[in-house]
């Protein structure tokens, strides 16, 4: 389990439930590494500013993370984390590698 203050997605079934039951979802799939930790921290800070978005994380190395790792939108990604954005159950944006607050907010405004 990731050591963040975000809610954790731990199974493929939970992933499905979360994206089906929440209009706007951002999931950061990664590890506790130098490229991932800053993204988790920004997500934790942004939660209060974007109450219409469900911010969650998922551990990259668990078997059920295949729902993100193998998504067509993530094909070719080389760096962690894989960050995915869902709108009404559909994956509408995916990014990889470290992102700063401005980059994340630009995506939140674009897709939500």
Query: Which tens digits make up the pLDDT trace of 49-71?
Result: 999 999 999 999 999 999 999 99
Do the Cβ atoms of 46 and 55 come closer than 8 Å?
Answer: yes
Q: How confident is the model at residue 94 (pLDDT cuts 50, 70, 90)?
A: very high
**CA 90 to chain CA mean position, Å:** 13
Q: How confident is the model at residue 48 (pLDDT cuts 50, 70, 90)?
A: very high
Q: Which domains does the chain have, with CATH numbers?
A: 7-111 (3.40.30.10)
Has residue 18 got a pLDDT over 90? Answer: yes
Do the Cβ atoms of 24 and 53 come closer than 8 Å?
Answer: yes
The overall pTM is greater than 0.85 = yes
């Amino acid at each position: 389990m990731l050591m963040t203050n975000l809610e954790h997605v731990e199974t493929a079934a939970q992933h499905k439930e979360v994206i089906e039951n929440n209009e706007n979802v951002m999931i950061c799939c990664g590890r506790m590494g130098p490229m991932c930790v800053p993204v988790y921290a920004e997500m934790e800070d942004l939660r209060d500013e974007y109450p219409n978005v469900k911010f969650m994380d998922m551990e990259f190395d668990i078997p059920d993370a295949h729902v993100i790792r193998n998504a067509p939108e993530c094909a070719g990604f080389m760096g962690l984390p894989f960050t995915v954005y869902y709108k009404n159950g559909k994956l509408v944006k995916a990014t990889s590698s470290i992102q700063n607050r401005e980059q994340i907010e630009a995506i939140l405004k674009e897709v939500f």
